[in-house]
Amino acid sequence: MWMRKAYVEVLVRYTREGQKIPILIIWEDGRKFSVDRVLDIRRAASLKAGGQGIRYRCRICSKETFLWFEEGKWFVEAL
Amino acid sequence: MGRVILHSDLNSFYASVECLYRPELKKKPVVVCGKQSTRHGIILAKNEIAKRFGVRTGEAIWEAQSKCPNLVLLPPNYSRYLRFSELAMSVYRNYTDKIESFGIDECWMDITESTRLFGNGESLAHKIKEKIKNELGITVSVGVSYNKIFAKLGSDLKKPDEVTVINRDNFKDTVWPLPVNELLYVGPATKRKLNRIGIFTIGDLANTHMAFLVKLLGKWGETIWAFANGYDATPVNKTDHDGIIKSIGNSLTAPRDLTCDEDVKMLIYVLSESVGKRLRKHNLKGKTVQISIKANDLSLIERQAGFDDYTYTSSLIAEKAFKIFTRNWDWSKNIRLLGVRAANLVTANEYVQLSLFSDGRKAKRELLDRSIDSIRSRFGHYSVQRALLLRKKRENGLNINPVEDHVIHPISFFKGHI
């Protein structure tokens, strides 16, 4: 099953070491979701939506979801 | 202890990357091909499903479509392939620094010294294969062996997403039964010659007397005989740096045949700008300009001439190239392909003997080129253009950007050795 690649606006905190930590995701319709915690950061491909970049495993509203940073843009896998 | 060499091959590279970005196409036959309208209409890569229909790389689009009517045609996206190629390299670099790339999608790795850290060749090959699959979303096949030739054969033996080990104990069973043309550098002509004397498999070749092969094929006879026996000892060249650049050139098959001096002038300027830009990027200057011309009957000539002084100025290269052209072409045939190349290179900031007779415009021209480069890097290639290239812009399509729409050329196995 493939999914839609939904580009989203993201508010990002830069750490002193230059690492990017997403703190807020703004969905296409304007709804905002804050990222409770980033659980894992690694390079990975999105086979469902079609993409490749740095994948952030995030906990948002007590659910785990993936957020990708690919060539300067952020996206999520959406239905 | 012998060497441990891996050869990693990104499976159906262009097509795999395209399918990754278009998951809905994964179950369909997909090919990546050039534009038919600009006469680059051949198949550059196909996915596994298209392969099953008998679609082959290098054939014309209509041939492929006749075998597979539902074929999905996609245009190539070179900058994306370069990004993925570089990502794959960064995975390989986790395990060794001895990496030699062979085209955009293949490379050899010498992991002899890394085996103490990461385990034996086979387990490391599996690690690399899984890492590429997870991080890049495409598959590789890896050959593991004690020389480069068998490692490459191994990666071709089972694909996609497989590891093949060829060692001193099993090469007679795995490599020798293969048809002789599977061996690197046994092309169609050599294959014909070998078949004529009853050599059909790599094993046949290995068991033929070397002196006989030398008589038949010249020094290549010895080389491929050694390949077949696993005696190849060529080292894996580190290519993490560009290596020593001996010349910089670009060539282009024109979207339509060139029929007059004006056409040629235009394309020469396009190519020279690209050559100049690349010289400046690598901080090099050249003293020799070479041009290559392929006529529409595919006959090829190459001519060259020198400057008095080293240069990286696009317009000087173009003027010289055009002068060489007019001196050597009589328009008895129309032209299909043009190439411009700068050779005899030195580092640009080396001290050079100034000429008493130069008019002082040289430095100005160099500055001008540097400024154009920086404008283009900020606002795109077409933001600043020569007036010459704006003439007949629409109808002839000759004004292209060969630096970014660039083509990857095959490279030699022996580079650096001969």
pLDDT tens figures, A43-69: 999 999 999 999 999 999 889 999 999
Same-domain status, B288 and B216: no
- Yes or no, beta carbons of B24 and A2 under 8 Å apart: yes
Option in A3, A52, A71 nearest B137 (CB): A52
Same-domain status, B166 and B88: yes
CB within 8 Å of B280: residues ≥ 6 apart: B312, B348, B369, B370, B373
Option in B20, B23, B24 nearest A52 (CB): B20
- Yes or no, beta carbons of B137 and A47 under 8 Å apart: yes
Q: Indicate the residue among B77, B105, B124 that finishes a domain.
A: B77
| pTM confidence score | 0.71
Nearest-CA distance B178 → chain A (Å): 35
Element (H, E) at B205: helix B202-206
- Yes or no, beta carbons of A52 and B136 under 8 Å apart: yes
Option in A45, A48, A71 nearest B135 (CB): A45
Same-domain status, B259 and B387: yes
Select from A13, A40, A39 the least CA-distant residue to A24: A13
Residues of B with CB under 8 A from a CB of A: 20-24, 26, 83-84, 87, 134-138
Is residue B234 domain-resident?
Answer: no
Is residue B285 domain-resident?
Answer: yes
Q: Pick the residue from chain A with its C-alpha nearest to B131.
A: A44
Nearest-CA distance A28 → chain B (Å): 21
Check pLDDT > 80 for residue B240.
no
Is residue B412 domain-resident?
Answer: no
Is residue B346 domain-resident?
Answer: yes
Over residues B108-126, the pLDDT tens digits come to 999 999 888 888 999 999 9
> Which of A40, A42, A46, A52 to probe the B interface (max B CBs under 10 A)?
A52
Q: Which residues in chain B are contacts of A53 at CB distance < 8 A?
A: none
Q: Indicate the residue among B25, B43, B77 that finishes a domain.
A: B77
Same-domain status, B89 and B214: yes
Q: Which residues in chain A are contacts of B21 at CB distance < 8 A?
A: 50-51
- Yes or no, beta carbons of A45 and B84 under 8 Å apart: no
Same-domain status, B377 and B260: yes
Is residue B410 domain-resident?
Answer: no
Q: Which of B100, B106, B162, B273 is catalytic?
A: B106
Residues of A with CB under 8 A from a CB of B: 2-3, 42-52, 71
Same-domain status, B263 and B390: yes
Same-domain status, B251 and B365: yes
Q: Phi first, then psi: what are they for B185, rounded to 5°?
A: 75, 10
Q: Pick the residue from chain B with its C-alpha nearest to A43.
A: B135
- Yes or no, beta carbons of B21 and A43 under 8 Å apart: no
Is residue B413 domain-resident?
Answer: no
Question: Facing residues of A78 across strands?
Answer: A4
Same-domain status, B215 and B304: no
Same-domain status, B305 and B195: no
Whether B48 is catalytic is no
The predicted structure's pLDDT at residue A24: 95
Whole-number CA gyration radius for chain A? 12
Nearest-CA distance B120 → chain A (Å): 25
- Could you tell me the CATH number of the domain that includes residue B25? 3.40.1170.60
Element (H, E) at B390: helix B387-390
Same-domain status, B267 and B208: no
Give the separation between CA B418 and CA B416, rounded to whole angstroms.
Answer: 6
Task: Calculate the alpha carbon distances from B223 to B30, B130, B149 in Å.
Answer: 38, 35, 11
Nearest-CA distance A4 → chain B (Å): 10
Q: Indicate the residue among B77, B110, B131 that finishes a domain.
A: B77
Domain membership of residue B264 as a residue range: 247-396
- Yes or no, beta carbons of A44 and B21 under 8 Å apart: no
Same-domain status, B129 and B215: yes
Q: What is the mean pLDDT of chain A?
A: 93
Is residue B242 domain-resident?
Answer: no
Nearest-CA distance A26 → chain B (Å): 23
Specify the number of domains making up chain B: 3
Q: Give the count of beta carbons closer than 10 Å to the beta carbon of residue B122.
A: 16
Select from B316, B339, B334, B337 the least CA-distant residue to B261: B334
- Could you tell me the CATH number of the domain that includes residue B265? 3.30.1490.100
Same-domain status, B94 and B57: no
Q: Which residues in chain A are contacts of B87 at CB distance < 8 A?
A: 43, 52
Helix (H, G, I), strand (E, B) or coil at B329: coil
The predicted structure's pLDDT at residue B241: 47
- Yes or no, beta carbons of B21 and A51 under 8 Å apart: yes
> Which of B134, B139, B140 to probe the A interface (max A CBs under 10 A)?
B134
Q: Comparing A27-36, B254-263, B328-337, B344-353, which segment has the lowest mean pLDDT?
A: B344-353
Q: How confident is the model at residue B387 (pLDDT cuts 50, 70, 90)?
A: confident
Helix (H, G, I), strand (E, B) or coil at B321: helix
Q: How confident is the model at residue B412 (pLDDT cuts 50, 70, 90)?
A: low
Is residue B35 domain-resident?
Answer: yes
Contact B136, A52 (CB under 8 A): yes
Q: Comparing B110-119, B164-173, B320-329, B386-395, which segment has the lowest mean pLDDT?
A: B386-395
CA dihedral B286, B282, A72, B19 (to 10 degrees): 70
Check pLDDT > 90 for residue B295.
no
Over residues B3-26, the pLDDT tens digits come to 999 999 999 999 999 999 999 998
How many residues can be counted in chain B? Answer: 418
